[in-house]
A and B are shown apart, each in its own frame.
Chain A
Amino acid sequence: MNLLEIRGMVKRFGGLAATDGVDLDVRQGEIHAVIGPNGAGKTTLIGQVCGTLAPDAGRILFAGVDATRLAPHQRAELGLARSYQITSLFPNFSVIDNVALAVQARSGSSFRFWQPVADERQLADAAQDILDRVGLGDLGQRTAAALSHGEHRQLEMALALATRPRLLLLDEPMAGMGGEESAHMVKLIEDLRGDYSVLLVEHDMDAVFRLADRISVLVAGRIIATGSVAEIRADAEVRLAYLGEDEA
């Protein structure tokens, strides 16, 4: 069953079609990677899936609902969560309050004016569980701004997980990470398999080949191939269009 279906997605900036008829499916439970050279339209595609960019044409079905015209927060309510390529946190909140705020988003109304959040133990408990999961369990009381880059990336992931999403959209989770941190993140995403469906946009080919159940290759605003890791590795067109470019 397809959790996410994108059909004929187009976004033009002036004369340039950043996405030019993208078709893409993410199946329930799979890790689906999107790769493509710089300028292929990955960032635009992410914006369209999240709802921050209105498409010029095309349709998005998410969990059976037509989400094409939904605002970002409405898509989040349907169960879409994203992480950002450039870390996007609440720098003045403590680490645990960052995550608790994300938990709060999906646990009842926040139009509550009287009861202190501090009394709502379940928010902090859920946040602590998620921090443990991403490996920040001991850093809860630190201010988010004080974390290292690698820890920021982990917290970024924690925020996305905290909304208990059905689909996780990970925008280059390995960006700017060293070897060890990167390996840690790969392990983390690996552990999500089965619990979440993941749409992974990533430059790190080793990570993609290790993690992905299926890969789609985005070139010049179009998906030129979709298949298993082995199929994509063997695809001549992909080699020409993308994998070859790395060597050039």
Chain B
Amino acid sequence: MAPLTAFVLAMALPAVASAFGQDFYVGFASRILIMAMLATSLNLLVGLGGMVSLGHAAFFGAGAYVVGILATEWRGVGNYALLAWPLAMALSAALALIIGAISLRTRGVYFIMITLAFAQMLFYVALSLKAYGGDDGMSLSQRSSLPGLDLAIDSHFYYVVLALSAAVFMLYQRLCAARFGRVLLGIKDNEARMESLGYPVYRYKLAAFVIAGAVAGLAGALMANQNSYVSPNMMHWEQSGVALVMVILGGLGNIWGGLAGAAAFLIIEEALSAFTKHWAIGVGAILLAVVFFAPRGIAGLWTAKR
């Protein structure tokens, strides 16, 4: 029931924030939820399937660019969320299919390196897109449009993000407990044995990679809207690293790991950056503490589930 309580509290956030005149926190909460979706999609790969990808931001950035490019090239219709967001997911899924099909032939450190290399390739592709701002990125003149809502209003946008992220968390939870999640856990534990039991391991890993890519693409599309800005940095390997840190901080393989990690990371960043620009040191210290004292992550502190 805890998730339901949290959901109800999250529903109340815009009203509370506005009552205290702290509307900033609505946008902040949207950012947390969007990063939580990104981290959760990465958790599917790392925590469940044991695939440590250091290029996950590629799909995040690709989703963002779909929104940005559509809005620029196709004024009006290109702005429709119901068109742009699914397209962002589709493009990211397609990229994940290609990148995954090649990367998943390797394992361990090689997999880390090859996913990193692919992501950096896409990063440089984005840098070279002069028509779309090159290394400056591009500002979006308006948010995507949804019938019946005005996403320019932060609380409206927040509710949409909340609904979508809740859907992602629920899907992830179902997937973990279903056959597919079992197979991924088995692959993480003992890949060779899975193969000899008759599981076509490569196909399962690729399917997970594509699902994770699609969700990362959706997160990217939402982040483009949240910031009204798209830039190559969204697919830089640092961004992939941040997502990975969030997963480890929050809890590898834990259903709420992505959310806990994203929230912890962004709150620490927000709190410490008021005092110092070296806030990353604080994140590092807390990450160390989590790794040593709570190896199952923040979410692992109060859920026994893995």
Binding site for B on A (CB under 8 A): 50, 52, 71-74, 76-77, 81-82, 84, 88-93, 97, 101-102, 104-106, 109-118, 120, 159, 163
A40 to chain B, nearest CB (A): 23
**When the two chains form their complex, are residues B186 and A90 in contact, meaning their CB atoms are under 8 A apart?**
yes
Binding site for A on B (CB under 8 A): 171, 174-175, 177-183, 185-186, 189-190, 192-201, 204, 207, 306
A104 to B192 Cα, complex, angstroms:
16
Q: Given A88-B190, A88-B193, A91-B189, check contact A110 B180 (CB 8 Å).
A: yes
**Number of A-B pairs whose CB atoms are under 8 Å?**
94
Neighbour of B180 across the interface among A74, A88, A89, A111, CB < 8 A: A111
**When the two chains form their complex, are residues B199 and A113 in contact, meaning their CB atoms are under 8 A apart?**
no
**When the two chains form their complex, are residues A163 and B197 in contact, meaning their CB atoms are under 8 A apart?**
yes
A120 to B179 Cα, complex, angstroms:
10
List the A side residues contacting B199 at CB < 8 Å: 73, 105, 110
**When the two chains form their complex, are residues B197 and A105 in contact, meaning their CB atoms are under 8 A apart?**
yes
**When the two chains form their complex, are residues A116 and B186 in contact, meaning their CB atoms are under 8 A apart?**
no
List the B side residues contacting A88 at CB < 8 Å: 190, 192-193
**When the two chains form their complex, are residues B177 and A118 in contact, meaning their CB atoms are under 8 A apart?**
yes
**When the two chains form their complex, are residues A92 and B195 in contact, meaning their CB atoms are under 8 A apart?**
no
List the B side residues contacting A73 at CB < 8 Å: 195-201
Looking across the interface, which residue of chain A has its beta carbon closest to that of B207? Answer: A111
A194 to B175 Cα, complex, angstroms:
40
List the A side residues contacting B193 at CB < 8 Å: 84, 88-90, 159
**When the two chains form their complex, are residues B204 and A110 in contact, meaning their CB atoms are under 8 A apart?**
yes
**When the two chains form their complex, are residues A76 and B196 in contact, meaning their CB atoms are under 8 A apart?**
yes
Question: B193, B195, B198 — which one has the most chain A CB atoms within 10 A of its CB?
Answer: B198
A90 to B182 Cα, complex, angstroms:
11
A127 to chain B, nearest CB (A): 12
Neighbour of B182 across the interface among A84, A91, A104, A114, CB < 8 A: A104
4 other A-B residue contacts (CB within 8 Å) besides A73-B196, A84-B193, A92-B185: A72-B195, A76-B198, A90-B190, A97-B182
Looking across the interface, which residue of chain B has its beta carbon closest to that of A93? Answer: B189
Pick the 3 closest A-B CB pairs, nearest first: A76-B198, A116-B177, A90-B189
B171 to chain A, nearest CB (A): 8
Neighbour of B190 across the interface among A82, A89, A117, CB < 8 A: A89
Looking across the interface, which residue of chain A has its beta carbon closest to that of B173? Answer: A116
A164 to B230 Cα, complex, angstroms:
54
Pairs across A and B, CB under 8 Å, 28 listed: A73-B197, A81-B196, A82-B196, A84-B193, A88-B190, A90-B185, A90-B189, A92-B306, A93-B189, A101-B182, A101-B183, A102-B197, A104-B179, A105-B197, A105-B199, A106-B198, A109-B179, A110-B179, A110-B182, A111-B204, A113-B178, A113-B180, A115-B179, A116-B178, A117-B177, A117-B179, A163-B197, A163-B198
Looking across the interface, which residue of chain B has its beta carbon closest to that of A72? Answer: B195
A191 to B174 Cα, complex, angstroms:
40
B77 to chain A, nearest CB (A): 32
**When the two chains form their complex, are residues A115 and B196 in contact, meaning their CB atoms are under 8 A apart?**
no
B179 to chain A, nearest CB (A): 4
A179 to B198 Cα, complex, angstroms:
33
A84 to B192 Cα, complex, angstroms:
11
List the B side residues contacting A117 at CB < 8 Å: 177-179, 181-182
Neighbour of A112 across the interface among B171, B179, B194, B195, CB < 8 A: B179
A141 to B96 Cα, complex, angstroms:
38
List the A side residues contacting B306 at CB < 8 Å: 92
Neighbour of A72 across the interface among B171, B182, B196, B207, CB < 8 A: B196
**When the two chains form their complex, are residues B179 and A50 in contact, meaning their CB atoms are under 8 A apart?**
no
Q: Given A110-B179, A116-B177, check contact A101 B186 (CB 8 Å).
A: yes
Looking across the interface, which residue of chain A has its beta carbon closest to that of B200? Answer: A73
List the A side residues contacting B204 at CB < 8 Å: 110-111
A118 to B180 Cα, complex, angstroms:
13
List the A side residues contacting B186 at CB < 8 Å: 90, 93, 101
Neighbour of A50 across the interface among B171, B174, B194, B196, CB < 8 A: B196
